[in-house]
Each structure stands twice: as C-alpha cells, then as structure tokens.
Structure 1
C-alpha cells in the first residue's frame, strides 16, 4: 500500500480539525508524580481501557446497565442508537487517535456513561441501591471512585452524559444532573464551600467539556478576590517569604471565617486571612489534575487553582511552616506528617508552565511585601531571626535583661547609700 500524499493528509486534517478536550498528561507533569494521574480501580474512556489492573469494576458497569434497563423497561439498543449519532463528535474530543471501531467506541461510551449516571443517582437516592452493592458498603471504593472520576485522562465528553441522562430520566432536566454531580463530588474538595454564600459560576451544561471541567467551573472563586477590574494588566509579581519568615516580619495569620471558597485569601492590617484547607490522601491527585487541566486550557480567565497552589508553595518551605498554619486553624493535616505535606506543596508546581494570565494574588503579594519592608517590621524580623530563634535564646535574653535591671537597682541603692552618708 502506497503512503498517502501530503495533499490527501491536508484534506483529511481540514475535515477532522476540532477542539480537543481530553488529553493525556504530558511527560513533564507525569514524571513528577505518575501515580497522581493513573486510575487504580476503574477506567473511564479509552486511554486506560483494557488494563489488567482496572478490570475490577468492568462487570459492575454491566450490572448497573442491566439493572437500569430492567427498571426502566428499555432496550440497550435505545442507548446505543442515541450515542451512535454522536460517535464521530465524541471521538474527536480525544487528542490522541483511538483505535477502537465505531461500534466498540459507542458501546464504551454507553457503558461508562451509564455507570457514572447510575453511580451519582444511587449516591443521592439510597432507595435505588441494591443491598449487596460493594460500592456503597466499602468506603474505600467510594472515596477512590470520587478521585478516579476527577482524573484528567479518565474522562468522557460531557454531552454524552447529557444524552444518556435524557434517556434515564425526564428529557431536558440537565440542571438536575448538575445537582447530582455537585452532591457526589462535594467532599472531595480540600476546602469546603459555604453553600449559604456560594453561587456556582454560570456555565451552561452544553458548554462543559467533562467532569473535571465541571468541578473546575463550579469551584470558581469570588470575582472580588481576583480583582477582575484590571484583568488586562500583566504585572510581574515576586515571591513572598514562607509563613515562618512572614511571622518573623510581624505578619499574622488568621483563619478566614468569612470565606466562600478555598481561594478567598485576604490581607488586612498586617494579617493574612486564609480559608481552612484539609490535606488528605486524595488532595495531591485532585490538585494535580486540576492544574493539568489549567495547563491545557490557559485561555480561561484565571488559572486559579495553579495560582492558589503557587501561593501555598510560597508559604510552605518546611514542616515548620505546615505546623504554624495548622496552629492557626488554617490547615488540617489528615496525613499526620508535616514533612509529607511540605514536600507535597514544594513539588506541586514542578514542571508547570506559569499562566500568562494575571496572578490572582498579585495585590496581596504586593501588600505583604510593602508591610514587610517597613522599618519596624524589618527590625522585628531581624530581632526574631538573630536573637529569638530558639527557647534558649529567649531565656538568655530574659536572663540578661533581669541582670541589667538588678544591676541598675543595685547601682541606685549604692548611690542612695552614699548620699545618706
């Protein structure tokens, strides 16, 4: 068979050109921590399909589909016919060529999509669960599934989920599906959302790329925090000191009680206000996959997850910084080891390309640096660093101060004695 001419290849390219939404994580990011991007119990979509270590839940997918077909009195062909029409569009969402035939690809979309929909329905509606369903009897399976459905490479197009949901429940109730996903993913966020104040960023279900994009969109921070008024200002910013260094420079830390999302950071009267963050087993993978998403879609207004991680990386240089943030009620370390958390944040920004968008916390960084440059605060930092850096040094200074006072008192008494005589 003769190789295709460049003319034929160009014609095919012009026909097939479409925005890709699902990529493989590049080697620069993957080499830092490969496990953060790899599924361990379930494969969604084509990238990890067929791997031996991911066969655990393949039969469970079939079981969920079987139960659904029985309860809804539908034929599987109803689902296949609907998705068959979307197969070319869905295939082009993947950045890499998919070797599956059209029938295989369609069946995979149906099987994976129905599993996801039934999973979130059963999560919110216990009456739909079977008595012996291991997913809802073993906490470790559920927590892992929440993480696995957030992996950048473990995605199917969101419009496939919308099409399938129209067949499962009343057609056009896409906001209900969004609500089910919000309930399912709520406890994977390392920083909780204040539901009484939080309003999800308005984004039509038709505009969502996949589940990771959905979570990223719903987690969008408050506009007042980011200073959207000067979005076109590309100011350079410089790093600030670690939490320990800032405390030495008379900067205080306080838990932000008025937060809406994790990204609500403020600086008032020499105090950095931070929303509480919980670090657990899934946190690194969750943040890494959101950062990977922002690396591939930097045309968004803000890479706010990347910016927040950069901010925390500035504050955390050592286990001592983690300890101090924990002391102020800002960080809850469920991993137990402060050094593990410090290493995690120090490596999270390795091999990433800094976004071209304005840095979200540039104003706060500028205010902190101005505060630290004041003479009084610089003097306090020098005093603490050179003379108050250990309990023994503090005891020595106190002892020296007492000796000086006693010496002065003794001198005064001696003078008074001389005067009397």
Structure 2
C-alpha cells in the first residue's frame, strides 16, 4: 500500500493547533541527564504507564481507591462515569499519541487521580492513614513521591483532579485542594516560596508541575520587564564567577529578609542572596521546571531558568561553591562541592535563554560596572597575580618586613652618622 500523498496529508491536517499541556522532554534536554526526568517509584499518566521498574506502587494505588470507596460508601463506577465524560478532553492534553483505549485511559485517570488526592489528604490528616502504610513510615518513599509527582512527563490534567476531589470532599472547595498540594510539596523547594493563593485560579492550572511553578512564582516587583521592554541582551554581559568577583572586591552576604529565593540585590559592592539548599532531588526539581519553561515561554517569565543561569555564572568550580557556602548562601547537603559545581555547569546545557526579559540583566550591569572601576580592577589583578595562595601572601609579608627592616636600618645608620 502506497503512503498517502501530500494532498491527502493536507486534507487530514487539523487547522487548529492542539492545546497540549503535557509533553515528553525533547532529546536535547534529556540527553544531558536522562534520569532527571524519569520517575523513580511511581507512574502517573500514560507516558510511563506499565514500566516494570514502577510497579512497586501499583497495588498501593488500588488499596487507596479501595479504602476510599469503603469510607465514602461509593462504587468505583461513580468515579469512572464522571471522568469518562472528560476522557477526550484529557486525551487532547497530551502531545504524544496515547495507545490506551477509552476505557483503559479513563481507568488510569481515576486510579492515578484518586491516589494523588488520597496521598495529599493523608499527608495533611494523620487520622486518615493506615497503621502500617509504608509511605508514611519510610521517608525515602515520601521523598521519591514528592519528586515523581512534579516531573514534567509524569502528569495528568489538573481538571481531572478537581473533578475527583469534588467526589471525595465537599464539591467546589478547590482552595482546600490547593492548600493540600502546597502542604505536600512544601519541603521540595530548595529556597523560599512566596505564595499568594488569592491570585491562583484552580481551573487555570495545567497540572501539578504547573502548580509547583506558580507557587514559586516571585513577586511582580522582581519581574519588572514589560511587553515593550527593549532587548536587554544589548545592555548586559555575563558576570564573573564568585572567585573572580571576590578578587574584584565584591562581597557576598546571606539575605534572610527576602520572601523569595529569586530576589538578588547588589548594594555598595555587596551581593545579597537568599539561602538555597542543594540536596539529592534538587537537580531533578530544577531540570523539570526549566523544561516546563521551555515549553510555555509565551505565558510566563522564565524565572527559574534565569536564576539557574545566574548561579551558573557565579559557579565555575568547587572553589566558587565553597565561597558561597562559607557565606551561608548555598547549604550543600550533598557534601561534595565539585558535584554541586558540575550540576550547575550542566543545568542550562541545551536550554534556550536567557531571553530578552532576563530578570537579572540590571544586576549584571551593576556588578560589571563595579568590577570595571580602576581600584577594583587593580585589586583583582593584585589578588590574582600575587595573593592567590597562602604561600604567596606569606612571601609578600616577609618581603614587606624585610623592606621595612632595611629602611629602619638605613635610617638608624644615617642618624648615627649625623649624630
């Protein structure tokens, strides 16, 4: 059978671009660190469904559904019939074709959705937990679940979760669900979170990763670039690493007063940064948020991508990590400074940006202006060429002492002659 002609292909082409919200991570990003986008213990949605290494919690999903049906005195068909009406709408959210038929796809949405809802309810309300539930007895399982549930590929549409929550608790109390999710994900963020639930419409949320991204969204004063902003790439250059900036008389200070990790200030030669904790899940967390911003750049500022690029400039080597750790800006739970440096050096590989709305462009300009001052350039050259090691400092100190002693001896000799 001959393949269809271009005329036939055009006839079959849909004019409207599908409004997909759940994608697979493209190969350019995935090839840098494939594991960062892969779930560790649980599959949510169709992309990783049925994988052998993720069967550990499949029975647990059924158990949560069974316990809920018992406690609410409902039949599983009550949930399936509601979600079946949304099956086509949910299917359109996925950029990749879904091989599951309507029945299997609907059942997957119900099973995964109920598990997520019951998980966050049990996390917040201890009395709902089973006595021997391993999820709440083994910290590593909860840590992996928090990681897996915000992965870019491991999602179901948020409107499915809203519909299921209406069947589990009082219908329409969606702010309650927002609170449960915020509580569940609270300790996965590596830095301060500036939440404002009043600005959040549950029906506009795409999926859980979108919710996590919105929760971390910084205040409007940081995202000050408007639609008519000039291309700021013409006005700024990348800054030096922490080591280079220290040589140019830039000081670093931990800032506890800011409400968001993304607020960076530069005042009188001092860079003030909020503390950031680096742990096992941090790379995956940041990579998936960066991937999200790569696909939805038209609607949101890429503040995570911009901040990671900012840190990538500050961190070239383990020496830079050590400097930032010394001032309390990086809390390194991984222990190895070299590992942290390598992580940041690779996080923006194959990532588009920073774009013309780069939120740290003005900071970069101010820092570079400071470093270009003659006094600071002279200090940088002195530290780089002569004060770059303890032995060099000792040698200069000894030389200065010898010069002073020589001058002193000369003065005394002159005075003796005069007297």
TM-score relative to the length of structure 1? 0.96
Alignment of 1:243-392 (within 5 A): 243-392=242-391
Per the alignment, residue 407 of structure 2 pairs with: 408
Task: State the alpha-carbon separation in 2 of the partners of residues 181 and 12 from structure 1.
Answer: 41
> Contact 2:149–2:155 (CA<8 Å) still a contact in 1?
yes
Deviation sequence 1:142-187 (CA, Å, 0-9, x none):
0000000011000000000000000000000001000000000000
> Contact 2:264–2:272 (CA<8 Å) still a contact in 1?
yes
Per the alignment, residue 76 of structure 1 pairs with: 76
Q: 1:71 to 1:150 in 2, by over 3 A?
A: same
* Structure 1 unaligned blocks of 5 or more: none
Deviation at 1:31, TM superposition (A): 0.5
> Contact 1:277–1:332 (CA<8 Å) still a contact in 2?
yes
Deviation at 1:200, TM superposition (A): 4.8
Task: State the alpha-carbon separation in 1 of the partners of residues 270 and 198 from structure 2.
Answer: 29
Q: Are residue 224 (structure 1) and residue 217 (structure 2) matched? A: no
> Contact 1:255–1:276 (CA<8 Å) still a contact in 2?
yes
> Contact 1:298–1:355 (CA<8 Å) still a contact in 2?
no
Per the alignment, residue 205 of structure 2 pairs with: 208
Secondary structure, aligned partner of 1:405: helix
> Contact 2:264–2:273 (CA<8 Å) still a contact in 1?
yes
> Contact 2:40–2:54 (CA<8 Å) still a contact in 1?
yes
Q: 1:15 to 1:228 in 2, by over 3 A?
A: closer
> Contact 1:23–1:94 (CA<8 Å) still a contact in 2?
yes
Task: State the alpha-carbon separation in 2 of the partners of residues 3 and 124 from structure 1.
Answer: 56
Deviation at 1:38, TM superposition (A): 0.6
Deviation at 1:218, TM superposition (A): 1.1
Deviation at 1:235, TM superposition (A): 1.1
Q: Are residue 169 (structure 1) and residue 169 (structure 2) matched? A: yes
Deviation at 1:117, TM superposition (A): 0.3
> Contact 2:309–2:354 (CA<8 Å) still a contact in 1?
no
Q: 1:21 to 1:276 in 2, by over 3 A?
A: same
Bigger Cα displacement from structure 2, 20-29 vs 398-407: 398-407
Bigger Cα displacement from structure 2, 294-303 vs 308-317: 294-303
> Contact 2:232–2:356 (CA<8 Å) still a contact in 1?
no
> Contact 1:241–1:314 (CA<8 Å) still a contact in 2?
yes
Task: State the alpha-carbon separation in 2 of the partners of residues 42 and 410 from structure 1.
Answer: 79
Task: State the alpha-carbon separation in 2 of the partners of residues 276 and 147 from structure 1.
Answer: 21
Alignment of 1:4-23 (within 5 A): 10=10, 13-14=13-14, 17-23=17-23
Task: State the alpha-carbon separation in 2 of the partners of residues 30 and 241 from structure 1.
Answer: 28
> Contact 2:269–2:370 (CA<8 Å) still a contact in 1?
yes
Task: State the alpha-carbon separation in 2 of the partners of residues 57 and 231 from structure 1.
Answer: 49
Q: Aligned-pair RMSD on alpha carbons?
A: 1.7
Q: 1:44 to 1:338 in 2, by over 3 A?
A: same
TM-score relative to the length of structure 2? 0.96
Task: State the alpha-carbon separation in 2 of the partners of residues 400 and 2 from structure 1.
Answer: 87
Secondary structure, aligned partner of 1:57: helix
Deviation sequence 1:278-308 (CA, Å, 0-9, x none):
0000000000000000011111241000000
Residues paired across the two proteins, number: 417
Deviation at 1:17, TM superposition (A): 4.5
* Structure 2 unaligned blocks of 5 or more: none
Task: State the alpha-carbon separation in 2 of the partners of residues 114 and 152 from structure 1.
Answer: 19
Deviation at 1:2, TM superposition (A): 8.0
Secondary structure, aligned partner of 1:272: strand
> Contact 1:201–1:218 (CA<8 Å) still a contact in 2?
no
> Contact 2:37–2:153 (CA<8 Å) still a contact in 1?
yes
